[in-house]
């Protein structure tokens, strides 16, 4: 992914008459990327995948949510590792990879953490004498 400054530099150098091959050599990019940056109508060259398909995890998503939910309620010593959760899903017919389970669990935890962080909280900025250290 190219940043905006690099795309603008490519366009500036090309407009001044510099060859694509020379630009690619100077910026350590491929000629294909340089051509793409020159021809693109907008300067943003990033790739954005809006929806991540879950072809193998999809049918087991509800079960994985339940396992993660149960695991979160357990005490720390009794929590399951993701490899164990993956093994449980394999026994139920899941044929996907461990990485798919790990990525899903990371996103699931991040969403849960974001929900907790958005909770309203009152933090006093001023304390009466002696009150702050109780």
Tens of pLDDT, residue by residue over 34-63, are 999 998 877 666 667 777 777 888 899 999
On whether residue 66 sits in a domain, the answer given is yes
Pair (35, 62) in one structural domain: no
55: its two tokens: 């072809």
- Does 33 share its domain with 69? no
In a domain, 96, yes or no: yes
Segment 6-25 mean pLDDT:
94
Q: Domain count of the chain? A: 2
Could you tell me if 32 and 78 lie in one domain? Answer: no
Rounded CA-CA distance 23/28 in Å is: 8
Q: Is position 97 within any domain?
A: yes
Q: What percent of the chain has pLDDT over 90?
A: 57
Cβ within 8 Å of residue 33, ≥6 positions away: 2, 24
Q: Are residues 71 and 109 located together in one domain of the fold?
A: yes
In a domain, 30, yes or no: yes
Range of the domain at 95: 58-117
- Let me know if residue 31 belongs to a domain: yes
Q: Write out pLDDT tens, residues 86-119.
A: 999 999 999 989 999 999 999 999 988 877 667 7
Q: Are residues 29 and 75 in the same domain?
A: no
Task: Give the C-alpha separation, 11 to 45, whole Å.
Answer: 13
Structural domain includes residue 134:
no
Task: Mark whether 21 and 71 lie in a shared domain.
Answer: no
Query: Which residues have a Cβ under 8 Å from the Cβ of 63 and sit 6 or more positions away?
Result: 89, 92
């Amino acid at each position: 992914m190219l940043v905006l400054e690099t795309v603008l530099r490519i366009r500036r150098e090309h407009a001044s008459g510099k060859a694509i091959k020379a630009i690619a050599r100077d910026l350590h990019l491929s000629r294909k990327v340089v051509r793409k940056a020159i021809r693109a109508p907008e300067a943003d060259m990033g790739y954005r995948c809006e929806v991540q398909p879950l072809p193998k995890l999809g049918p087991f998503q509800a079960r994985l949510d339940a396992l993660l939910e149960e695991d979160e309620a357990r005490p720390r010593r009794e929590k399951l590792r993701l490899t164990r959760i993956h093994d449980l899903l394999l026994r139920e017919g899941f044929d996907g990879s461990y990485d798919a389970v790990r990525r899903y669990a990371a996103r699931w935890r991040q969403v849960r953490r974001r929900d907790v962080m958005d909770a309203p909280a009152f933090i006093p900025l001023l304390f009466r004498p002696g009150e702050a250290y109780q």
